[in-house]
Structure 1
Amino acid sequence: MAKAPDSTAVADKEQEGADTAVGVRRPPAPVAPRASRGFPSAVSRTGRVGALDGLRTLAVALVVVHHVEPDVLPGGAVAVDVFFTISGFVITRLLLAEYVRRGGISLMSFYRRRWMRLVPALLALCAVCALLASTTSLWGFDGSLQAAGLSAAFLTNVVRAMESGPYSELTRPLAHTWSLGVEEQFYLLWPLVLLFVLRRFRARTVLLCTAALCALPLLWRCVLWNPEAAHRIYNGTDTRADQLLAGALVAVALARLRSDDPRLTLLRTWSGRLAWPALALLGLVAWQVPVTEDLGVWTAVWYTVGFLAVAALSATLVMALELRPEARMSRLLALTPLAWVGRNLSYGIYLWHYPVVRLLASLGVNEGRLAATVVLTLLMALLSYYAIEKPFLRRARVGKMPAAAPALAVT
């Protein structure tokens, strides 16, 4: 059970070319303090972070290995948590930048761009799986018609959350799309909540509200926890929201601080010091901890406090990569091959890797299955990117509202 945002997902193409007409790297104009609406760095902090794209590549690689060789990386599903935090960070800073520039957030435009980014490639995947189910005898695609319908409606996580025992065959052919359901449901609700607090409170209170919201899923998980509720907690948007909100909290905090603010220097220093330990701890979990298995007391800790702890580690990484582009970790993750794959192919890799795993298993491929999965998944991701995702992303950018147009702020 894993994902890549958009997330899974997985790479978020809204960053690339976002509002270039107004110059996303240009700092806000030095006018009255009210012009920044309390977020003086919101507009200047919307450029693409190459190291985050490289982190996406690393995370999706963990997901693939976890699904092909679970004994090698029993905790590889933790990469999903990292993707959630990246997504929350990227989406929130784009929404903040729009709010500062226009005094509102065009919700319809936001939802349209999200649809263009996620849905066309997902529908293509669902169609292929349904076709294989109806025209072949491959057992790995039995039940794909129902699973495709749930995936296309972003409801896979809802169905899985309601199952107390072993997961049923209802979602199994496209089980990995549970995390897409979590992200899409978050995308539906979070802009409304953010716009509400932005319109009614000062920037400092917005930051405090976001931090408070991060704590609510932890409390809710503690209330819900029992072994029979494991699926409910693992798949629920309300029980996983703190991992997305941790990224949102980083975005809000950084947007509030000017480049010469001493608190920003403090964040830059400490995030840099903690980045490698955070990455090492996440790697240790992926390598040694079977996070989706029943391990007694450890499972109770993981399904309550553990999710928030991983969110904190992921948020530390995101902050370090944003604030310290010159650091060794940032330079390594921003290497062109890693950044390009994360930016352009991570979503396609996530979408296609699990059906490829099931295809090879149905064909009885055992020797070299990991290598075969990687090759076939990359081919399908490339096809998805150039034939589906890129054309729709181009249409999404062309369809953006002019910079001078008033925002349609719906509360």
Structure 2
Amino acid sequence: MSIGPEYAPPGRRRNRDIECLRAIAVVGVAFHHMQGNLFHPGLPLVGRLLQHADFWFGVDLFFAISGFVIARSLLPQMAASAGNLREQAGVIGAFWIRRFWRLLPSAWLWLGLIMLAVVTFNRSNAFGSVHANLMATLAGLLDVANFRFAEAFFRYEYGASFVYWSLSLEEQFYLLLPLLVACLRRRIALLMVALFVIQLCVFRTPLLMSVRTDALALGVLLAIAEPGRSYATLNPGFLLRLGWLRTLLPCVLLVVLAVLASADHGSWRFRISAIAMLCAALVWLASYDRNYLLPEGWCKRLLVWIGARSYAIYLIHIPVYFLLRELCFRLSATDDALQIMPAWLLSGLAVAMVALLAELNYRYLEQPLRQRGKNIADRFRHRRARPSSTAVNVMKTTDTVEPMT
């Protein structure tokens, strides 16, 4: 999953089309998780839909977005400091500091709240057992939730924080990418190609599914290609002349993604790689930030709002689903919430609660801590700037403020 905009170079505004893709990704995942988690044991109508069109591909769409956005910011900084180990260490350290303050406080907060609910508000056992959630919380804190998820797959209870598997994979990617770039430099593109080709050829076991990096690698390759002439040549500017018809192309891509993610195609060996390629195609369209996905209007403004809060929504939606099930259990002594209220009302309450909590998390936790992380990272990197440049700047300041006599 992508999880919020990374530091952008001066003058580069937030890409609104990328935010729209984040919104589509998180809405798709949240809908996929309703079946069996909010609607327990499930709605027959939703079950039939998911048989032919599913929406978990939003996770891979997040991966493609993350690969593109992170590499688009990080690679030019790494290239500018190439040959100077001190500066490269400053770039890498500042990158990790920003990522820490951007991701981990919210992730740890909701891990803690889930554990609190497991212990104090879990008569229905909707949140699962204390032991399973304790192990899941430790895996989330240590960023190895994807490995535990693979081990638990159809074998034992994971816990209520199962969505952290994708966060752990992304955080492992954030940890390794700058180190790989420092070692490989321009050859990083060859590694990304190799990651995609190897995973295209192998059979996807649960372990390989939990470390799938197809979409991440393709996102990085898009970021590498973006400054080149070919990228500008391939700019699909003709879409702007189509008005609302331009939405047909992304809609077709999304429909194909949903069909590939469905149970009907679960046995097709190459479907994960195909999903990664289609997600990369959507990110490619969005990368130009020219409204190729959707014209400006209320619909796009709504998607941009959701996209900006997509990380919080991803963390919050499962605890809210289980919270509603527990509330219904306490009202009726049954774990089937649908016996108390219709599906439309239950889903409406879930959407409202997730939106409210995501807004609070975004406004009062994510935004202030993101800025704090940026300030700390800037100071860290400044201390590791080229000594010669620092000395020149200090001399200029001294000459200006306190002239020598």
Question: After TM superposition, is the score higher than 0.5?
Answer: yes
Counterpart among 362, 367, 375 of residue 390 in structure 1:
367
Which deviates further from its counterpart, 108-117 or 265-274? 265-274
3-state DSSP of counterpart to 1:329: coil
- 226, 251, 255: which is aligned to 1:283? 255
Alpha carbons of structure 1 residues 290 and 313: separation in structure 2 relative to 1, 3 Å = closer
Match of 1:233 among 208, 213, 232: 208
Contact 1:53–1:333 under 8 Å retained in 2 = no
The whole-number CA distance in structure 1 between the counterparts of 2:255 and 2:215 is 17
The worse-fitting range, judged by mean Cα deviation, of 100-109 and 89-98 is 100-109
Matched, 1:363 2:327: yes
2-structure distance, mates of 1:196, 1:332: 45
Match of 1:135 in 2: 120
Q: Which structure 2 segments of 5+ residues have no match?
A: 36-45, 83-87, 241-245, 329-336, 387-405
Q: Which residue of 1 aligns with 2:275?
A: 310
Whether the 8 Å contact between 1:111 and 1:188 is mirrored in structure 2 is yes
Which string of whole-angstrom CA distances, capped at 9 and with x for unpartnered residues, describes residues 21-55 of structure 1? xx344xxxxxxxxxxxxxxxxxxxxx421111011
TM-score (norm 1): 0.75
Aligned length: 344
2:192 aligned partner: 210
What are the superposed Cα offsets for residues 87-119 of structure 1, whole Å, 9 maximum, x if unpaired? 000010111121244333622221111111111
Displacement after TM superposition at 1:355 (Å): 1.2
Larger Rg: 2
Partner of 1:172: 159
Deviation at 1:272, TM superposition (A): 5.9
1:86-235 equivalent positions in 2, closer than 5 A:
86-103=65-82, 104=88, 106-136=91-121, 137-143=123-129, 144-163=133-152, 166-169=154-157, 171-198=158-185, 201=186, 205-219=187-201, 221-222=202-203, 225=204, 229=205, 231-235=206-210
User: Matches of 1:323 and 1:182 in 2, distance apart?
Assistant: 27
Q: TM-score, normalised by structure 2?
A: 0.76
Distance in structure 2 (CA, Å) of the matches to 1:83 and 1:396: 22
Matched, 1:336 2:311: no
Kept in 2, the 8 Å contact 1:51–1:332? The answer is no
Partners in 2 of 1:372 and 1:313 — Cα distance? 33
Measure, in 1, the Cα distance between the counterparts of 2:299 and 2:197: 32
Supply the RMSD in Å over aligned alpha carbons: 2.8
- The one-letter code sitting in structure 1 at the alignment partner of 2:189 is L
CA distance in 1, matches of 2:113, 2:369: 19
Give the one of 208, 211, 221 matched to 1:249.
221
CA contact 2:68–2:219 (8 Å) conserved in 1: yes
Of the three residues 283, 287, 312, the one matched with 1:322 is: 287
Supply the distance in 1 between the matched residues of 2:293 and 2:103 (Cα, whole angstroms): 32
